A and B are shown apart, each in its own frame.
Chain A
Amino acid sequence: MRWGGQIVATLLGAAVLAAAFPSSAAVSDADVKAAFLPRFARYVTWPPLAAPSGSNPFVLCVVGDDPFAGGVDSAARTQSVDGRRIVVRHLDSVAGAGDCHIAYVAGNHGQSVGQMLAALRGKPVLTVTDSRNGGSRGIIHFTVVDGRVRFYIDEAEASLDKIAISSRLLALAIGVKQR
């Protein structure tokens, strides 16, 4: 075990080095994803019956286990689209999520992401999933590439749900499954 002490010394040395030169990245991927979610409303067009009418707000739902710790609520307060506010709802199950404009589908103990997505298919809901929660994909699927939060877009699925996605958002996707 003569080397044991030397390994510890190496680790400590590296820790000191690490502490002396802190990384510049201060935000977590969850912070950035929370910031993305309300912004999607600006680049998506819902079918007339599903779009908010009158002065009603856009409804952004977090369905299942919420990884954002209030991050989506504060991000939504800073955004509005054509004068409409964006309200956030936290839902335990997919029941009732059919009225959401945007649904971040996280899954939970009782229902997987895939099962939640299946229940929302065909409804005019912009489903958003996260590679952190497994391989199940909604219309928008977050992933972290090269230390940046990016996403895939399933335009084919969106068109089945009668949702149109602007070219500005499509241009940001790392992959688009086309109609």
Chain B
Amino acid sequence: MRRTLGIGACVFYFAFGSSARAEQGVDAQDLANLTIEQLARIQVRSASKTEEPLSSAPTALYVITNKDIVDSGVTSLPEALRLAPNLQVQRIDAAQYAISARGFNGLEAGNKVLAQIDGRTIYTPLASSVFWNLHSPLLEDIEQIEVISGPGGTLYGPNAVNGVINITTKDAEDTIGGLARVTAGALERTAGLRYGFPIGRSGAMRVYADWHDTQGFPAAPGRPEVDDDYRGWQGGFRSDFGNEGDHFTVQGDLFRTDADVLAGDNARGGNILARWNRALSSSSAVQVQAYYDDFRREFTDVVDSVKTVDGQGQVNIATGRHQIVAGGGIRTTRDLFVNNLNIFELVPDSRRLWVYNVFAQDRFSVAPTLDVVAGVKLEKSTFVGWQFLPNLRIAWQPNQRNLVWAAVSRAVRTPSRIDRQLEAPGFLDPAPDFTSEKLVALEAGYRGQPSRSTSLSISAFLNFYDDIRTTEFATDGTPPFQLKNGWKGRTYGIEAWATMQVTPIWRLWLGGSTLWKDFHLKAGHIDLIPFNSLGSDPKWQVRARSEFDLAPRLQLNLQARAVGKIDQAPELGSYVELGGKLAYRLTRQLELYLYGSNLLHHLHQESNNGAAQLPERSILLGTRVTF
């Protein structure tokens, strides 16, 4: 396959490269003689991450930019998340993904990450996990994805235990005009359309639609074949009004996805969100936001529906050497869970849950180069009382190019509906005493730009967990079973990534993470399904990404990953895979590209879940036009 790609690249180059080279460049000293119109037409070197200002956030933060997503060629949100070296992504089958940071990955175990799109939480209160394939915002309109590994600290909402995935879409002002994209291959087809237009004097709006149709994967030998085809669409709008000091956003989405595991399987829903930012003075600002989200999934004879109302507000004040943020939020969900497939049910089958939180944080400049961030969040849910979640961070920034930080924080995952109220008569008892899973995390890191063309981030963590879920006998030695809080233990590891502008036309990203887990059962506890609680995590993973401008209009992107062995039974060996995109820009408005994923193997396995299917090599052709 590698050879085929190489030949393809050469053919592309010689067919189109020479005419593209007719565009002449200029030197910096020539700029003085140009008119302002000529300046606006000058082709500049592609911006690299290394030239961007260093974020002063004292956390293990990786930012996936819009350019990263578009240039990589990925066709879905979960595939885009593979670009973050501090996330572990397992494709369970064509439709389902498990995504986590710092361990606990798996369909059941992956319940310790907060994921949100434009401030709207997308994890389900049923199990605190995310149905990643049911979220398909138009990838071209994503502004950035912030990925924080480790506790989210004070400023993010509930469930930010092991990480935060914060997806933001572009301001409608930045998406004026049209965009259309079509991709087609044997295994997958997608189409996207967006049109943005100004409204009145100070507003803009875009409407979009995205469609996808994905073929199922084959099963592992001796494993059950799952009919994991799925297809669906998502559409919506975003409108933004006002200016920096007074900004109002209204946005909403609708989606429907159909699957084939059993006839009639589908998921559908919609949401609407409003957010208002206002500067009160030169040093203070307020933000309020509210949304409604309606979600319904019918899957293998299970009906799962959740209606969410969420409201939150915060105030930012800068005074002297203090930057203070304080706020609070309320979320309520009304769910319904009806299981016609097996004996497991939630009792009651419909319930309203509440989560409240208040928080305050102060970033205090102790000295010009030294900041201390102290924050606390108080959180209460229907199932557990007020939880005290403090965090303390130190950021030492001796100059603009270097940041050293350290943090200690406490985070909890409050019980989900399944933790407390899942039962099966005679087989599984409900767990009214199931309590929050707790984490105390110690972290330290460095982020900086050792040279003008290199950026580097290294972080180390030591996490102490307690009360992690176990599946045990309700009483001694015989069914029924019951969920309890029996695991205690620690994880530790290192995450590092670097970006290099090797030459003006070659950028390279390298990243990797390691994870050690050391858990033991507390006295009097057993776990019959450790797989479901501790997750199945590789000990290490490495990512490499390369972006070459082969010619002014021709770009080759390659993304390689190596993922270590999963020790948790059933064991799964390590694997290496490669994806890539070869893109030719015909005109400023029109791009043609060839995208391949999983190029090294016809089939490979990423998850040791019993129902895992094998991701296949996939090649597709795409075109994108703006108008």
Chain A, range 124-179, C-beta contacts under 8 Å to B:
132-133, 135-138, 143-144, 146-150, 152, 154, 156-157, 168-169, 172, 175, 177-179
Set of chain A residues within 8 Å of B397, measured between Cβ atoms: 109
B346 at the interface (CB under 8 A from A): no
B558 at the interface (CB under 8 A from A): yes
What is the CA–CA distance of A110 and B364 in the complex, to the nearest angstrom? 10
B34 at the interface (CB under 8 A from A): yes
Pairwise interchain contact B244-A136, C-beta atoms closer than 8 A: yes
Set of chain B residues within 8 Å of A154, measured between Cβ atoms: 243
Chain B, range 165-206, C-beta contacts under 8 Å to A:
171, 173-174, 176, 198, 201-202
Minimum CB distance partner of A127 in chain B:
B244
B505 to chain A, nearest CB (A): 4
B54 to chain A, nearest CB (A): 9
A89 at the interface (CB under 8 A from B): no
A118 at the interface (CB under 8 A from B): yes
Minimum CB distance partner of A36 in chain B:
B39
Pairwise interchain contact A26-B27, C-beta atoms closer than 8 A: yes
Instruction: Kindly specify which of B18-26, B106-114, B518-526 makes contact with the partner chain.
Output: B18-26
* In the complex with contacts A1-B562, A21-B17, A36-B36, A29-B44 CB distance below 8 A: yes
Minimum CB distance partner of A7 in chain B:
B560
B384 at the interface (CB under 8 A from A): no
What is the CA–CA distance of A39 and B245 in the complex, to the nearest angstrom? 27
B283 at the interface (CB under 8 A from A): yes
Pairwise interchain contact B40-A149, C-beta atoms closer than 8 A: yes
Pairwise interchain contact B505-A177, C-beta atoms closer than 8 A: no
B593 to chain A, nearest CB (A): 16
Chain B, range 98-132, C-beta contacts under 8 Å to A:
none
Chain B, range 1-47, C-beta contacts under 8 Å to A:
2, 5-6, 9-10, 13, 17, 21, 23-28, 31-32, 34, 36-37, 39-47
Set of chain A residues within 8 Å of B281, measured between Cβ atoms: 118
A67 at the interface (CB under 8 A from B): yes
A49 at the interface (CB under 8 A from B): no
Chain A, range 1-43, C-beta contacts under 8 Å to B:
1, 3-4, 6-7, 9-11, 13-15, 17-19, 21-32, 35-36, 39, 42-43
Set of chain B residues within 8 Å of A114, measured between Cβ atoms: 244, 279, 285
Pairwise interchain contact B505-A22, C-beta atoms closer than 8 A: yes
Pairwise interchain contact B588-A146, C-beta atoms closer than 8 A: yes
Name the residue in B397, B502, B504 with the highest tally of chain A Cβ atoms < 10 Å from its Cβ.
B504
- A-B pairs under 8 A by CB, number: 193
B24 to chain A, nearest CB (A): 6
Indicate which residue in A1, A19, A27, A135 contacts B44 across the interface (CB closer than 8 Å): A27
Pairwise interchain contact A175-B173, C-beta atoms closer than 8 A: yes
For chain B, what secondary structure do more than half of its interface residues adopt (helix, strand, loop), or is it mixed? mixed
Instruction: Kindly specify which of B303-311, B419-427, B488-496, B542-550 makes contact with the partner chain.
Output: B542-550
Pairwise interchain contact B40-A148, C-beta atoms closer than 8 A: yes
* In the complex with contacts A4-B562, A14-B9, A135-B171, A110-B550 CB distance below 8 A: no
Minimum CB distance partner of A130 in chain B:
B53
Minimum CB distance partner of A6 in chain B:
B2
* In the complex with contacts A22-B505, A25-B25, A115-B318, A14-B552 CB distance below 8 A: no
- Using CB atoms and an 8 Å cutoff, list the residues of chain B in contact with chain A: 2, 5-6, 9-10, 13, 17, 21, 23-28, 31-32, 34, 36-37, 39-47, 51-53, 56, 143, 171, 173-174, 176, 198, 201-202, 243-245, 279, 281-283, 285, 318, 365, 368, 397, 400, 502-506, 544, 546, 548-552, 556, 558, 560, 562, 576, 578, 588, 600
Other A-B pairs, 19, CB within 8 Å; known A11-B546, A106-B53? A10-B6, A17-B9, A18-B505, A22-B504, A22-B505, A23-B551, A24-B43, A28-B44, A35-B34, A36-B36, A67-B51, A109-B56, A111-B318, A115-B283, A115-B318, A132-B51, A148-B40, A148-B43, A177-B201
- Using CB atoms and an 8 Å cutoff, list the residues of chain A in contact with chain B: 1, 3-4, 6-7, 9-11, 13-15, 17-19, 21-32, 35-36, 39, 42-43, 65, 67, 71, 75, 78-79, 106-107, 109-111, 114-115, 117-119, 121, 132-133, 135-138, 143-144, 146-150, 152, 154, 156-157, 168-169, 172, 175, 177-179
